[in-house]
Chain A
Amino acid sequence: AAGVIQSPRHLIKEKRETATLKCYPIPRHDTVYWYQQGPGQDPQFLISFYEKMQSDKGSIPDRFSAQQFSDYHSELNMSSLELGDSALYFCASSLNRDRTYEQYFGPGTRLTVT
């Protein structure tokens, strides 16, 4: 079965650079979520999109922005990167229209800021 695809899998950036993470949800899924997991921590919700509209927002820094495109893929844009942004970034998708809400996670993008 098709799974959530994230690219790139690994990314190394320097401070003050920008990064773009991409997410391709499971086909037919209508909702995408972004989570940030720092080293040794639990995942923290950043932002979500339902049918290409932002549906919820968590503790996402103003330096970050995200959107969902017409083909349902999503991108997380991160600017002025800081050392503390080093983390594993997960994208997850679900089919909320059917009210199942089960979320399936992608493999994650490991971002290292040096």
Chain B
Amino acid sequence: AQKITQTQPGMFVQEKEAVTLDCTYDTSDPSYGLFWYKQPSSGEMIFLIYQGSYDQQNATEGRYSLNFQKARKSANLVISASQLGDSAMYFCAMRVSTSYGKLTFGQGTILTVHP
């Protein structure tokens, strides 16, 4: 079975600074994908970034980058130049090749950006 762990229940960051949200995972499947989603207080789930287990380079999408360390089984999300609108819940999730694509989520991290 696969498992995602997010050890930071809450994080605070000053506007315009960078912040790293931690995510570790566990799976015995060699083929898997890692996702980060943002969930604002309004409730919708917004896809941010994706990293495949065989991808050689770390994924980047605008201000979001994924620090993928396969040997450590970690997939940390880095948000650069934080904005007030980044305040939200952030979920790390994983799918494995044998699971028909279903996602297993971590517990989430609430990010608060201070002005």
Contact = CB atoms under 8 A, between A and B. Distances in A.
Interface of A: 31, 33, 35, 42-45, 48, 50, 55-56, 58, 88, 90, 92, 94, 96, 101-108, 110
Given A42-B107, A101-B95, A103-B35, A96 B43 contact: no
Contacts of B91: 42-43
Interface in B24-81: 33, 35, 37, 43-47, 50
B104 interface: yes
B47 A102 contact: yes
A94 B99 CA distance: 14
Contacts of B100: 31, 48, 50, 55-56, 96
Given A108-B43, A110-B43, A102 B106 contact: no
A63 to B, nearest CB: 20
6 contacts: A43-B45, A88-B43, A105-B45, A105-B46, A105-B47, A108-B44
Contacts of B46: 105
Contacts of A101: 33, 95, 101
A67 B43 CA distance: 25
Contact of B101 (A35, A96, A106): A96
- Looking at A45, A50, A107, the one whose CB has the most chain B CB atoms below 10 A away is A45
B5 to A, nearest CB: 11
